[in-house]
């Protein structure tokens, strides 16, 4: 199987005085690992090393909330036990937005699809697809209304599981953007697989974003997410995509190579582009976007 998220990159500059910027003749570049992928930060700021360290620490902290590969994350604890007391604020905030997109999409965006995804992934390791009985059993473990959300606890039925991979990368991009803005950086582009731009480039132009499926978007002061139905596949032929329909248990029909949506936040753009991959026709995608303020369908190819 292929992963669609291989790299995290952040580029930012500050509005410091010319004298302060002259003291830093070259942008500071940090490289490492974040969100389970190679990462780089390219910062133009007199205190760039300290800012980069804080960003790396914040991403690590948020991975401790949302990660499905870190056994100590809050999400993994919820999936193991079906309950989580005193859930982190970030998890509650992300689930609140996920619920809004779930309702607006008629249930097509549903983070409780994790048991179904696991059934496909387990079968793929054996070189096959899950049979109908396996799919039906996994689908019986899904259902957003079976996730009970309260400020002091989260509960779900035994055997259920959550994945926030269709929204958390965007949410983390939003949090990092806010953090960098608070440090005085003004021209910011964050790429976690979803894009979050604050301001434009240092030369005053918008950030030019070239879409993998063709076309380009000039991004300034907003976010952009692209979901590709076949970005990850469960079969050797590359025809059974990773975006699964919680209502049917089947992989979504690959009607498009990619759906690109821009929004005020990367988390919202991320979730909407994921849901849009399961919709039939451009009119349905446009209608979904219209349910949220300042959201635009940028490309459907």
Predicted confidence band of residue 23 (pLDDT cuts 50, 70, 90): low
223-227 vs 259-263, strand pairing mode: antiparallel
Widest Cα–Cα separation across the chain: 68
d(Cα 14, Cα 181) in Å, to the nearest integer? 9
Burial class (CB in 10 A: 0-12, 13-18, 19+), 151: exposed
Helix (H), strand (E), coil (C) string for the chain: CCCCCCEEEEEEEECCCHHHHHCCCCCEEEEEEECCEEEEEEEECCCHHHHHHHHHHHHHHHHHHHCCCCCCCHHHHHHHHCEEECCCHHHHHHHHHHHHHHHHCCCCCCHHHHHHHHHHHHHHHCCCCCCHHHHHHHHCCCCHHHCEEECCEEECCCCCCCCCCCCHHHHHHHHHHHHHHHCCEEEEEEECCCEEEECCCCCCCCEEEECCCCCEEEECCCEEEEECCCCCECCCCCCCECCECCCCCCECCCCCCCEEEEECCHHHHHHHHHHHCCCCCHHHHHHHHHCCCCCEEEEEC
Lowest mean per-residue pLDDT among 20-24, 182-186, 211-215: 20-24
**Residue 285 or residue 191, greater confidence:** 285
Burial letters for 223-257: b for 16+ Cβ neighbours within 10 Å, e otherwise? bbbbbbbbbbbbbeeeebbbbbbbeebbbbebbbb
Residues ≥6 apart with Cβ < 8 Å to 105: 272, 275, 278, 279, 288
Give the model confidence (pLDDT) of 81-90 as tens digits: 999 999 999 9
185-191 vs 259-263, strand pairing mode: unpaired
Sign of the dihedral defined by the CA atoms of residues 167, 170, 176, 180, in that order: negative
Is the separation of the CB atoms in 43 and 13 below 8 Å?
Answer: yes
The predicted pLDDT at position 22 comes to: 52
Top-ranked range on mean pLDDT: pick from 45-49, 105-109, 251-255: 105-109
Q: How many CB atoms lie within 10 A of CB 33?
A: 13
d(Cα 98, Cα 114) in Å, to the nearest integer? 14
Give the model confidence (pLDDT) of 195-248 as tens digits: 899 888 878 899 888 887 778 899 999 999 999 888 889 998 999 999 999 999
Residue % of the chain over a pLDDT of 90? 62
Lowest mean per-residue pLDDT among 27-36, 40-49, 54-63, 94-103: 27-36
Is the separation of the CB atoms in 219 and 207 below 8 Å?
Answer: yes
Top-ranked range on mean pLDDT: pick from 98-102, 177-181, 280-284: 98-102
Q: Which of 67, 161, 164, 65 is nearest to 114 (CA)?
A: 161
Give the model confidence (pLDDT) of 92-121 as tens digits: 999 999 999 999 999 999 999 999 999 999
């Amino acid at each position: 199987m292929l992963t669609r998220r291989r790299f995290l990159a952040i580029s930012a500059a500050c509005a410091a005085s010319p004298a302060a910027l002259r003291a830093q003749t070259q942008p500071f570049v940090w490289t490492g690992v974040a969100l389970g992928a190679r990462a780089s930060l390219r910062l133009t700021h007199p205190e760039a090393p300290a800012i980069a360290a804080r960003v790396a620490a914040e991403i690590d902290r948020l991975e401790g909330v949302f990660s499905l590969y870190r056994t100590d994350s809050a999400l993994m604890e919820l999936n193991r036990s079906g309950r989580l007391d005193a859930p982190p604020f970030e998890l509650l905030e992300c689930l609140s937005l996920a619920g809004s997109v779930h309702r607006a999409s008629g249930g097509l965006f549903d983070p409780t699809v994790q048991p179904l995804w696991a059934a496909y992934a387990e079968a793929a390791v054996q070189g096959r697809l899950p049979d109908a009985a396996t799919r039906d059993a996994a689908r019986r473990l899904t259902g957003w209304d079976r996730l009970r959300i309260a400020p002091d606890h989260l509960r779900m039925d035994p055997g259920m599981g959550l994945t926030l991979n269709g929204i958390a990368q965007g949410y983390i991009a939003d949090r990092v953007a806010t953090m960098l803005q608070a440090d005085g950086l003004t021209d910011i582009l964050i790429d976690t697989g979803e894009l979050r731009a604050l301001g434009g480039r240092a030369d005053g132009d918008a950030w030019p974003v070239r879409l993998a499926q063709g076309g380009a978007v000039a991004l300034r002061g907003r976010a952009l997410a692209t979901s590709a139905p076949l970005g990850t596949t469960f079969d050797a032929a590359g025809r059974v995509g990773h975006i699964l329909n919680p209502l049917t248990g089947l992989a979504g029909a690959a009607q498009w190579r990619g759906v690109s949506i821009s929004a005020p936040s990367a988390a919202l753009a991320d979730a909407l582009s994921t849901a849009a991959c399961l919709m039939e026709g451009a009119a349905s995608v446009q209608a979904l976007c219209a349910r949220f303020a300042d959201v635009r369908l940028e490309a459907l190819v």
